[in-house]
Amino acid sequence: MNLVGKIFLVLILIMSIVFMSLAMAVYSTHQNWRQAAEDLKKKVAEAQAKNTDLGEELKRLDTQMAEEKEAYRQQLQKLETMRVELTDQRDQMQERLSQLVGQTRELTGTVGATQQRLTALIEEVGQLRTNIVKAQQDRDAAFAQVIEKTDQLHQAHAELTKAQERKDQLVGQVARYTRLMTENNIDPAAPPKGLPPQLDGQVTAVSRDNLIEVSLGSDDGLRAGHTIEVYRGRNYLGRAQVLETAPDKAVGKLLKQYRKGIIQKGDRVATRLKIS
């Protein structure tokens, strides 16, 4: 190979390197523009989505603004109605005020006469109060006398009632005592001389032949012929007639017609039963 061939070979090699570099540069540039286009498409899509959202938000705001405008318009109409009503009320009150002012002027004209009449009435009231106080004092004095007489009447009536009740009690007691004396064969009109004293003892012994021995004797005032009543608690058992007495005991015979139960040692005896 000669020199020219070598030169062409070197030129070819150089041109190959240049074209290779150019091809590599073109390829690299092509890749960068593709990536930029894809990024731009993404941004465009995001912008379109944001634009859509902003459009919907604008529609919502327009609707809200329309509703608020309608609400404000209705509120404005209410306020206008209230303003008209208040204006009417103000006019009515102004008219009423004018009427009251006229009435006040008329009343002011009558105050003088009313004041004079009031002064006369005050003097009459003072005189009436004096008369009322005197009348109340007279009434209180008369009422006190009535109360005193009423109390005396009630006291007398109470005493009369008590006396009547005591009389009824005494009459009842006399009737019971008379009935008891009659039942015991005692003449209520007979003098008390010979009657046994009020004694209380007990049965100390009982025999089979209707004889009993009691703890009362001649020292107690018991005498032959006296009668004694036999009882146990609240149960009446019978009557015995004293046959003989000793200083500290006595013997009596049971009377069959008065026998009301079985008499035992320890039963109580009395010359007169107590009435309760």
In a domain, 190, yes or no: no
* Beta-sheet strands, E only, within 87-223: 200-206, 211-214
CATH code of residue 200:
2.40.10.340
Residue 275, pLDDT score: 55
d(CA 164, CA 170): 10
Among 175, 165, 176, 178, smallest CA distance to 275 is for 176
In a domain, 254, yes or no: yes
- Grade residue 154 by pLDDT with cuts at 50, 70 and 90: confident
219's tokens = 């020292």
Residue 176, pLDDT score: 82
- pLDDT, the chain, mean: 84
In a domain, 207, yes or no: yes
In a domain, 20, yes or no: no
Amino acid at 183: E
Return the percentage of the chain with pLDDT > 70, whole number.
90
d(CA 91, CA 82): 14
Kindly report, residue by residue over 168-200, the tens digit of the pLDDT: 888 888 788 777 767 665 556 544 555 788 899
Alpha carbon 69 to chain centroid, angstroms: 61
Place of tokens 């009824």: 168
Place of tokens 């990536």: 35
d(CA 179, CA 198): 18
d(CA 257, CA 109): 115
Question: Which of 43-52, 93-102, 227-236 has maximum average pLDDT?
Answer: 227-236
Alpha carbon 79 to chain centroid, angstroms: 53
Residue 186, pLDDT score: 58
Q: Determine the average pLDDT of the residues in 141-166.
A: 85
- Grade residue 15 by pLDDT with cuts at 50, 70 and 90: confident
Kindly report, residue by residue over 103-149, the tens digit of the pLDDT: 888 888 788 788 888 888 898 888 888 888 888 888 888 888 888 88
129's tokens = 């109060």
Residue 188, pLDDT score: 60
Tally of domains in the chain: 1
Three-state SS sequence of 82-113: HHHHHHHHHHHHHHHHHHHHHHHHHHHHHHHH
Asked if 184 contacts 227 with a C-beta cutoff of 8 angstroms, the reply is yes
Residue 191, pLDDT score: 46
Residue 245's φ and ψ, nearest 5 degrees, are: -130, 155
Residue 225 gets the label, from left (phi > 0), alpha (psi -120 to 50) or beta, of: left
Q: Is the pTM above the cut of 0.85? A: no
26's tokens = 């073109």
Amino acid at 127: Q
d(CA 230, CA 248): 18
In a domain, 216, yes or no: yes
Place of tokens 């109580």: 268
Apex 183 CA angle, 179 and 187, nearest 5? 75
In a domain, 260, yes or no: yes
- Grade residue 250 by pLDDT with cuts at 50, 70 and 90: very high
Q: Determine the average pLDDT of the residues in 64-83.
A: 88
Task: Write out the residue range of the structural domain in which residue 233 sits.
Answer: 196-270
Residue 118, CB-side half-sphere exposure with 13 Å CA sphere = 6
Handedness of CA 163, 167, 173, 177 (dihedral sign): positive
Residue 179, pLDDT score: 79
Residue 67, CB-side half-sphere exposure with 13 Å CA sphere = 5
66's tokens = 């329309």
Residue 63, pLDDT score: 86
Residue 214's φ and ψ, nearest 5 degrees, are: -120, 165
Residue 31 has pLDDT above 80, yes or no: no
In a domain, 256, yes or no: yes
In a domain, 224, yes or no: yes
